[in-house]
Amino acid sequence: MVSLQGILPYVQVALSALLIVCVLLQRTGASLGGAFGADNFSSGFHTRRGFERTLFQATIAIGILFALSALISLLIS
């Protein structure tokens, strides 16, 4: 049987790759003009629907799983 210490690094690499992809696929709410003080009030408030909401929830879940795997790795080493 494969030990947890042997398989955990591969799980962490896979989770980190998924987390990067999920974060990069999300649409940003602020444009470049918002960084320089332009009126960007309405772009930050929108309701996530459909795939955007699913992607947002998946990003949170993968982030939590990644944090838990890092904590488990820290505890068993």
64-77 burial code (b ≥16 CB/10 A, e <16): eebeebeeeeeeee
Domain coordinates in residue numbering, the chain: 7-25+50-77
pLDDT of residue 26: 87
Tell how far CA 56 is from the center of its chain: 8
Amino acid (one-letter) located at 55: L
- Residue spans of the chain under pLDDT 70: 1, 28-46
pLDDT of residue 39: 52
- Cα distances (angstroms) measured from residue 43 to each of 1, 35, 46, 76: 52, 13, 7, 45
